[in-house]
Structure 1
Amino acid sequence: MEHRHVGRTGLRVSRIGLGTMTWSRDTDEHEAAEQLRELVAAGGTLVDTSASYAEGGAEELLGSLIGTVVARDELVLCTKAGVRRTSTGPVVDASRGGLLASLDASLARLGTDHVDLFLVQSPDPRTPLEETASALRQAVVSGRARYVGVSNHAGWQVALLAGLLDDVRDRVGLAAVEMEYSLLQRGIEREVVPAARAVGAGVLAWSPLGRGVLTGKYRRTVPADSRAASPHLAGFVQPYLTAHASAVVDAVVMAAGGLQRQPLEVALAWLARRERVASAIVGARTAAQLRGALTSLDLELPDEIVQALDDVSAPVVGYPERF
């Protein structure tokens, strides 16, 4: 599998990464172990998790498999902090204390002394970005994280944080932005991608299959075993069960038919060509689903198909991005 540098850093990640959002909830230890084996056998390295996934359960499951199913040095571990569960529901907390305490707990669950990439999962309007940046710097300086970045942040926040981390004394820097990016969600092309380009950060794309919709499985009905039929994930999929999304999916299915490939392969191959994308993080529920994604690695889309997909999925861009 191709490995790519994350932005201008020395960190290299596999073109396809493994997401763990469903681990310990919809994906049990046997399926999780098989997914790890499939990823590494294909040459993959990146495994993405979060302290908030299954309230730490995903990290615990991943930690139980490191050293038994796969060696720690075969993986690039990425975890996220900044969303914690309380008695009244999830709370965003990107404070210095919140981020560093979450990182320490993540390391304990993962059974390692460091992660390769540590991300702030969500913007916190109550915490100054200067404080968030200081926590990220401390994570690197203390050795608990090798690189840092953000997830789900706006372009101006990416740029400001990068400036706050740009210090000639330690060169911590902002390595990565992890954002939802697919043929069904190209919003980051307006400001986040230009910001990442300007500061030298790489893009990690979560939900590269449009929350599963780009597989084509929702074209006629909602399968009983799908995320859209799951009581805790139905709302996650629902925004892409629209007429606009259907038009994009139809174009992907048509392209896949002409190439004699699967729709998800076309969707992933399209994303692999996008600017600054270092890895597409596939949140497979089963090992079979991950194997399907891995088959996309040898697919090079003809330019005319790329252009057609660009046209049908083009995001709305206006003032001030286009003036």
Structure 2
Amino acid sequence: MHQRPLGRSGLAVSRLALGTMTWGRDTDPDDAADQLKIFLEAGGTLIDTADVYGDGDAEAVIGSLLDHLVPRDEVVIATKAGLTPHGYRHRDASRGNLLRSLDASLRRLGTDYVDLWQIHGYDAQTPFEETLSALDHAVASGKVRYGGVSNFAAWQTARAATWQAAYPGRAPIVAAQMEYSLLERGIEREILPSAAALGFGVLAWSPLGRGVLTGKYRNGRPVDSRAASEHMGAFARTYLEPRSSSIVEAVVIAAAGLGVAPVEVALSWIRDRPGVAAAVLGARTAGQLQGALRSEQLTLPMEIAMALEDVSAIEVGYPEREGSNYPEG
């Protein structure tokens, strides 16, 4: 599998990442082990997780697998902190909470450092400087190698990256993990231009449009699908609407013409978008992961890539249009 630099940093990551949001909940340890083996055999290196995935169980599963499946220095572990779904605050990016969360993540992962640590959402109740000082401390302590953010708005991401670059010794922002797929292209308005200007890489989560781009929902909702599950239903149903259906049909037609599966087309398109360092695969089963990894053998013909870009195009207006290369309208 191809390796790419994460932004302008010295950290190289596989251009497909293994997501673990369902580990410890919908994906049991045995299935997780099968997924990790398949991913490693394909040349993957980047494992993405968070302290809230499975209430910490995803990190614990990863830690148990690292003991015997792969040497620690042969994988890139990325985790996140700052979401507090069970507390009185939904987000807590205070210095105290972030550093406590990091220590807990390290214990569950069974390692003394993570390669990439990301702030998992903007916290308006905590001074920005305090949040970023926690990132500086984590890197200086050796517990974190590189820092990033996730699900920040464009101005928040740009402010963080600029603040961290303004003074020697601060930990640079090297990554922004954002939702990005043919069904959700909002980051093209401001995040991707910011990444190009400020030197951070984008990790695209849910590159299959929360599973909808696989085509599995074209004729209903399978009983074993995310859309039919109690705790993930609302997550998947976001894209079960007419606009998404037309995009899915375009992906299915392209896949039929190329003799591949829709998942391969959708992943190949997002993987090769400018500014994307890696697409994060959130497979529920080993079979799903194997199907997704076959996209590594596919490069979309330019005509198909452009057709998919056209059918999924988003409206760009003022002020984004003013600062872009879009033609005057």
| TM-score greater than 0.5 by the shorter chain | yes
Structure 1, unmatched stretches of 5+, are none
Taking structure 1 as the reference length, the TM-score comes to 0.98
> After superposition, where does 1:1-323 map in structure 2 within 5 Å?
1-86=1-86, 91-167=90-166, 169-170=168-169, 172-323=171-322
Taking structure 2 as the reference length, the TM-score comes to 0.96
Runs of 4+ with >3 A deviation: none
In the aligned structure 2, how far is the partner of 1:242 from the partner of 1:16? 28
In the aligned structure 2, how far is the partner of 1:222 from the partner of 1:204? 28
Cα deviation for residue 61 of structure 1 reads 1.0
Cα deviation for residue 265 of structure 1 reads 0.2
| AA of the residue aligned to 2:205 | W
Q: Deviations over 1:146-202 (max 9, x none)?
A: 000000001111111112211553252110000000000000000111111111000
Query: Larger deviation: 232-241 or 67-76?
Result: 67-76
In the aligned structure 2, how far is the partner of 1:114 from the partner of 1:23? 21
Cα deviation for residue 306 of structure 1 reads 0.7
Secondary structure of the equivalent of 1:175?
strand
| AA of the residue aligned to 2:133 | S
| AA of the residue aligned to 1:272 | R
In the aligned structure 2, how far is the partner of 1:174 from the partner of 1:285? 30
Structure 2, unmatched stretches of 5+, are 323-329
In the aligned structure 1, how far is the partner of 2:258 from the partner of 2:320? 35
Q: Deviations over 1:95-150 (max 9, x none)?
A: 11111110110000000000000001111111121111111111111111100000
Residue identity over aligned pairs, in percent, reads: 57
Question: How many residues are paired up?
Answer: 322
Do 1:5 and 1:11's aligned partners in 2 also have CA atoms closer than 8 Å?
yes
Q: Deviations over 1:218-243 (max 9, x none)?
A: 00110111111110000000110000
| AA of the residue aligned to 1:306 | A
Query: Larger deviation: 28-37 or 67-76?
Result: 67-76
| AA of the residue aligned to 2:229 | S
Do 2:51 and 2:81's aligned partners in 1 also have CA atoms closer than 8 Å?
yes
Cα deviation for residue 46 of structure 1 reads 0.5
Do 2:50 and 2:81's aligned partners in 1 also have CA atoms closer than 8 Å?
yes
